[in-house]
Every structure is written in C-alpha cells, then in structure tokens.
Amino acid sequence: MRRIAQALSDFIDRRQSWVFPAPAVIVLLLIVVFPIAFNLYLAFTKWTIGLGQPRFIGLDNFVDLLTDERVLNGTVVMIAFSGLSLALEMGLGLMIALYFNREFKGSEAVQAIYIFPFAATPVAVALIWRIMLNPEVGVLNYLLRLVGLPGSLWVSSEHTVILSLVMVDVWKWTPMITLIVLAGLKSLPHDPYEAARIDGANALQIFWHITLPMIRPVLIAALMLRSLDNLKEFDMIYTITQGGPGIASETLYLYSYTVGFQFFKAGYGSALMVVVFLIVLVFNVVMNRLRLAK
C-alpha cells in the first residue's frame, strides 16, 4: 500500500504540469468546447426536435441560407443596428470620458449616477423602455406633445423601430464605453501635454495629435468588447419588439432563436448560429489587426 502511494506521489510530481490543470480543462471542455462542437455537428444535419434523430445532409443548410429572405433581412438589420449603435456609443463615450477626465465639483457623484444604466439588468431596462415607447401611454410621446411636437410610433413602426432600439442600446451601454476610455485617459503620461502647451498647441490640436493616437488601442479594445455583445443582441430586442413589427427588427441572432426554439429546426438554426459566429469572429479579427497595427 505504501509503495502504491509513493508511486502515485512520484507520478504526480513528474506530471504536475498537466495533472493540476486537468480538472479545469475537463470542465472547460464540457461547458464550452462540447456545446460548440455539437452545434457545429448539428449545422450539417437535418433535425426537427422531437421528430427522430439528426440526419447528415452536408452543406444543404448553408445552401438554403443563401435563398432565405429572412437571413438577408436579419443580416441587414444586424448591420444597421450594430453599426449605428456602436458608432454612437463610441463617439458619445469618448466625448463624455473627455469631460469626466477633468476636475469639477461633484464629479464623483455625477459619474456614479451616470453609470446607473450600465449597472441595471438588461431585461428590466427593456421592460421599462417598452412602456416608455408605447405610442398611446408612453411618457416619450407625452413629453413630445407637451412641447408641441407630434408623437411617434417608435417601435410600432417599421420605419422607426431600428432607431428606437438604437436609442435604448446607446442609453444603456454608452456608460460602459465611457468607463473604459476614462480609465485609459487617466493612465496617459503628462509630459507630451506639457510639451505641446509650451509649443503653443490649442486644445483641438492636443486632442487630435496626442490624445487620440495614445488612446487608440483603448478605443479599439472597447469597441471589440462591446461588439461581442452588440452583434448578438437578443434580450433587449426580444423583450421590446420580439423582432417586430413583422420582421423589421429581427436580427440574424434573433432569427436563429426563432428557427431553433419556435420552429424546432435545430439543424437549420445551428447553421444560422455558425454564420453569426463567423461574422463576430471576422469583425474582431479585423479590429485586433487594427489594434496591433502601428
């Protein structure tokens, strides 16, 4: 018995570089790698949940995607929603971070109140905004009429639904961008600014030639972090519009959910998820190249 214990102890000592990480690696394989591999497998099968077993059909699901009008609509909606919301969040986040990066009375209290939307639960925020955006009883139309402006249909119209959802997304997530950029601004060295002021540079020149180049890696990192969630936005859109009116706000990610969990077409829904994954992957690879570029 003592020999077995000694042999086991010697074995662990010799292989400790992979014995100790093994439990974490096994858990990682079970909760991350296995679902991804299973989704990839289903993407090449035809399977309606509850009706038989998955049947391998090769690339047929991906061929069907090319002629599916809702895939094209979902891609356009996703690009419009993500492009507009990310651009506004980055622009506003940078401007507000620049304002917060200066001393003023009550700055800590203002910053604490400002990050409240970011700290709130996304579904709770969406439920509140759904009521506020209601054309009949919503507070936004009440305020518009109070100042003599006509009310809007907001998320009830296919012409305004994307802009309305962008407004909610910007309201909630701009504070996150601000926090990231503000942390980057706080870490910048003071020497280049002092040298620029001695040389007579104005505020705009200092921002364009010093602040922006030095904060560029932080901006790209914030964009990558936010895009990971924004490109597959689900909870906010589903809670407010469920992809409507019609399919006017149905993103590709939301369509994959509808196919998989309402139509129960697991194979086709998995193929859609692979496409969404590739879009997010390509976007972040491009952003990472820009971040590393000199």
Neighbours of 215 (CB within 10 A): 20
The whole-chain average pLDDT of the chain stands at 89
The identity of residue 161, as a single letter, is V
- Which H or E element spans position 53? strand 51-56
The predicted structure's pLDDT at residue 90: 95
> Where is pLDDT greater, at 293 or 88?
88
> Among candidates 123, 54, 99, which has minimal Cα distance to 211?
99
pTM over 0.75: yes
**Res 73: pLDDT:** 94
Tell me the pLDDT tens digit for each residue of 262-272. Answer: 999 999 999 99
Q: What is the dihedral of CA 93, 97, 98, 99, to 10 degrees?
A: 110
Residues 69-96: what's their mean pLDDT?
94
* Residue 171: both structure tokens together: 């309201």
Confirm if 227 and 287 have CB atoms less than 8 A apart. yes
Asked if 55 and 48 count as a contact pair (C-beta separation under 8 A), the reply is no
**pLDDT value at position 176?**
93
SS3 label, residue 103: coil
Q: Which residues are CB-contacts of 5 (< 8 A; sequence separation ≥ 6)?
A: none
Q: At a CB cut-off of 8 Å and minimum separation 6, what does 78 contact?
A: 231, 251, 252, 253, 279
Domains within the chain, CATH numbers bracketed: 1-57 (no CATH), 67-292 (1.10.3720.10)
Provide the pLDDT for residue 158: 92
